[in-house]
Amino acid sequence: MTELARIDALPLSYMPPDDIAALREKVRCRAFLVRMRSKLKVKVRAQLTINGFTPPSEYGLFTAKGLEWLHSLQLDAVDCYLPVISTLDIQVGKLSRELRMMA
């Protein structure tokens, strides 16, 4: 390694321009938040199964009607997860809009 440095033969690493680096970071952040939201949704579904509830088939579980139904169940774990999912929805939406503007 020192021999390569002495003869100035070390390979250079690629550093993207600042705008590309910022875009990549936003994409990584959005992907992370989407993964977290998905994990919480799986936990909500697991709580429904554990407590013997079957989600209504006429509408999605995380639509406005579905969320109303979930709140009506008054399950502590579900009530704990729903505000976090809502916050993640807001942040994912915000990042999605920013990414569309940047792209």
Q: What is the pLDDT of residues 30-56, one digit of tens each?
A: 999 999 999 999 999 999 999 999 999
Residue 42 CA to residue 1 CA, distance in Å, equals 48
Cβ count within 10 A of residue 85: 20
pTM for the full predicted model: 0.82
The pLDDT mean for the chain works out to: 93
Signed CA dihedral, 14, 17, 21, 24: sign only? negative
| Contact between residue 34 and residue 96 where contact means Cβ atoms under 8 Å apart | no
Residue 40 CA to residue 34 CA, distance in Å, equals 10
What is the predicted pLDDT for the residue at 10? 76
Phi, psi (5° rounding) for residue 74? 55, 50
